Amino acid sequence: MSLTELPLVAPERRTSRFRPLKALHHFRKLVADKEDTEQVFHIIEAMKGKASHRQAWDFIASPQGQRFLVEAVDIPAMLDDHARWADCGPNSVAAHYIAFMKREGLSAAGLVAESNKWQPAHERPQDLTQWYFDRLRDTHDLFHVLTGYGRDALGEASLLAFSYQQNHNAGILFIAYAGARQIKKVTRTAAPLFDAIREGRALGRAAAKIAHQDIAALMAEDIDAARTRLNIGKPLAYHECLRILESEGILSEQLALGSAQAA
């Protein structure tokens, strides 16, 4: 069945599932092992509400959404085809994305695999709404590249705050604030961590929706031009927090270790 033949909402889909205690349970597991990203998907599902679904349906109904459905691009496969972007300039989004993924040892397919640990694709509702949620997942690392947030614990939390304003899933905002609280608990830092989270929200609110872009065209853009076009501001509070943490002898690489040791 092609994408355009799928229903907007499958009969088995539940559009409002606020279960904060379940989210807290999985957050504790994530604290114990930051690399256990399967827990993130559990939290997101436990807190997924109607706002996320309404945004999905509005985008699907839009001319741009309809075009992307017809094109049916496999975003993870496209992003992982690094040879495809060989002719892009050294300051292109593609060049920065590839450098980021190689440096971090990541792949778009790897994120899909983590998602499938939580719920195999064949067990998810087969509808256009799921296509949209998969699109949000598949563009996550592009968010890192375009915003400048790192993969340290504060960078991930700040990016999730940015992402919340892009997709309105309360589970993402829960992780963002809970993550900052955990860093504060472990490090006792004087850095204004919650300023970084609030800044992430403000930047995400002001920016155009990244997941709604033509991803192939975006990859070929100059990254500075893309940030200007999408109105993505600089995460100044986040970088100030990193500066303070470093001055306190806490390196960004240690934030994840501290979280695990505190569990």
Domain assignment of residue 224, yes or no: yes
152 belongs to a structural domain: yes
User: Positive or negative, the Cα torsion across 6, 9, 12, 17?
Assistant: positive
Residue pLDDT, tens place only, 183-214? 999 899 999 999 999 999 999 999 999 999 99
CA-CA distances (angstroms) from residue 131 to 60, 66, 73, 101, 240?
9, 12, 11, 23, 37
- Percentage of residues of the chain with pLDDT beyond 70: 87
| Per-residue pLDDT reduced to its tens digit, 109-160 | 999 998 888 777 788 889 999 999 999 999 999 999 999 999 998 999 999 9
Q: Which domain holds residue 175?
A: 19-262
pLDDT above 70 (res 254)? no
With respect to residue 25, please indicate whether it lies within any of the assigned structural domains.
yes
pLDDT at 132: 96
Mean pLDDT of 219-241: 98
Model confidence at 261: pLDDT above 70: no
In a domain, 193, yes or no: yes
Let me know: does 140 contact 211? Beta carbons within 8 Å. Answer: no
**pLDDT tens for each residue of 21-34:** 677 777 777 767 76
- Please report whether residue 4 resides in a domain: no
Q: From the centroid of its chain, how far is CA 263?
A: 24
Look-up of token digits 């040791």: 261
Span 63-86, average pLDDT:
96
CA distance 250 to 154: 12
Does the residue 5 lie in any domain? Answer: no
Considering the domain boundaries, does residue 6 fall inside one? no
Token reading at 256: 């994840």
What total of structural domains would you count in the chain? Answer: 1
